[in-house]
Amino acid sequence: MPAEERSEDQSRPSGFPPRFGDGPGEDDAVLLLRCLLGITPRSLHALVWRAGSASSALAAIVAGAGGSDNDRTWLEERSAASVRRELADPEYWPALLRLDDPPVGIFCRGRPLSPEHRRVAIVGSRRPSPTGVEVARSLARGSALAGLVVTSGGALGIDARAHEGALDAGGSTVAVLGCGIDRDYPATNQKLLRQIVDRGTLVSEYPPGVPAEPFRFPARNRVIAGLSIGVVIVEGVERSGTRSTADFASQVGIDVFGVPGAITSTLSEAPNALIRDGARLIRSSTDLLHDLGVDPGERPFTPEGLSPIQTAVLAVLERPMMAEEVSLAAELGFPDAVSALMGLEMRGLIAGEGGRYRRAVESGPARRLPEPG
């Protein structure tokens, strides 16, 4: 980045002016501003600072000092009340104010973004290697078992596998969309996105009806970073949306982590370059949790989606145990105990070694990414 651009970026104020959203008419103005599509997030952020409030920024757009003609036509036809009738209660996550150009507002489907949640982003290529898929699932599973919420972009490839890994472990996950909050995009992830609505949260800065278009995804990536306490890059080419997510994180002081791969693989370009530039190298979720300062046993974690028998088995498995011991401790018939153990092992919640079962602890190095071809 040229020095002039860096200087300009550093001088631009972050967050919003003190009067933004506070006062008569401000709530309505904020809601209408977040629905406008003819002005980029960065331009809108700059306009808000010039105007000093949401109401003044909206008046400037109506007067032609920003936005597009389509925005002005839309504002003539709509009101804040009519928009609210179509939406669930929108909410805002304060951590987004760390971004240089935070979204004016966000829309959510599913569970609220609780202040108690700690989120880690796991992102990567839409066309990952088999090992990349395995690593993404493993990292997400280990993060979820430690009580973290996994954040990603709902896209094909690494994003989808990260969401699935968190859900399979009985945890929660957040998918940030590059389209309207009502759109299941990509369509091939429709089932996964519906599961996320049930057990996690869909987030978008775009109102209902907005289609997925290429230019929306870089903006989406800054929201992924802003919602998280750390960003993990699993696989990706050097110039990609994956890399942009890491760049947004670095800009606001969020830790960036990279899973190393073979230097001959194009899929290793983004993580290897980030590691060379100072990102933290991780081999497993154990490394990730350690570097984030997260104690896996700090917060009790109860996986979701377990049967009563699986819940009983997991509760008694406080040390490595034979199936017979589990059966007696949980006061279950042996076939029921074995069936529950198999189900828990399939979900990655426990591991079997030498006839004994124990709660899963993500450890050991992730396998090196294979070379292409």
**DSSP-based three-state secondary structure for 58:** helix
- Domain of 219, CATH number, reads 3.40.50.450
Residue 367 confidence (pLDDT): 36
Answer whether residue 210 is part of any domain.
yes
Tokens encoding 45: 């952020």
Beta pairing class for 321-322 and 356-359: antiparallel
Residues 131 and 278 in one domain: yes
Q: What is the pLDDT of residue 319?
A: 87
Residues 252 and 218 in one domain: yes
d(CA 288, CA 364) in angstroms, rounded, equals 12
Q: What is the pLDDT of residues 171-225, one digit of tens each?
A: 899 999 999 988 899 999 999 999 999 989 999 998 888 898 888 898 999 999 9
User: Of 243, 260, 292, which marks where a domain is finished?
Assistant: 292
Q: Are residues 352 and 247 in the same domain?
A: no
> What SS3 class is residue 322?
strand
The DSSP code sequence of 132-154 is HHHHHHHHHHHHHHTTPEEEE--
Residue bearing tokens 């920024």: 57
Please tell me the predicted confidence (pLDDT) of residue 297: 64
Task: State whether 249 and 162 are in the same domain.
Answer: yes
pLDDT, averaged in runs of 10, over the chain (373 residues): 35 75 87 86 90 93 91 89 69 80 87 82 96 96 92 96 93 94 92 93 90 89 94 92 90 94 94 95 94 77 78 87 92 92 84 84 38 33
* pLDDT at residue number 345: 86
The gap from C-alpha 314 to its chain's centroid, in whole angstroms, comes to 28
Neighbours of 193 (CB within 10 A): 22
Query: How far is residue 63's CA from residue 67's CA, in Å, rounded to a whole number?
Result: 10
Confidence (pTM) = 0.73
Is the domain of 130 the same as that of 201? yes
Do residue 184 and residue 328 come from a single domain?
A: no
d(CA 104, CA 100): 12
Are both 135 and 276 inside the same structural domain?
yes
Q: Tell whether 246 is covered by a domain.
A: yes
| 54 inside domain | yes
pLDDT for 275 equals 96
* Domain that residue 189 falls in: 119-292
**Are residues 282 and 177 both part of a single domain?**
yes
Task: Collect all residues with Cβ–Cβ distance below 8 Å to 271 and sequence separation of at least 6.
Answer: 233, 234, 235, 236, 258, 259, 260, 261, 279
Stretch (H or E) spanning 257: strand 255-258
In a domain, 284, yes or no: yes
What was the pLDDT predicted at 188? 94
Same-domain status, 154 and 262: yes
Same domain, yes or no: 178 and 29? no
pLDDT of 209: 84
Domain count, the chain: 3
Strands 119-123 and 149-152: parallel
Report yes or no on 341 lying in a domain.
yes
Q: What is the pLDDT of residue 90?
A: 56
- pLDDT score of 4: 32
Residues 148 and 253 in one domain: yes
Which CATH number does the domain housing residue 322 bear? Answer: 1.10.10.10
**Whether residues 233 and 155 fall in one domain:** yes
Per the CB < 8 A criterion, the answer to whether 163 and 142 are in contact is: no
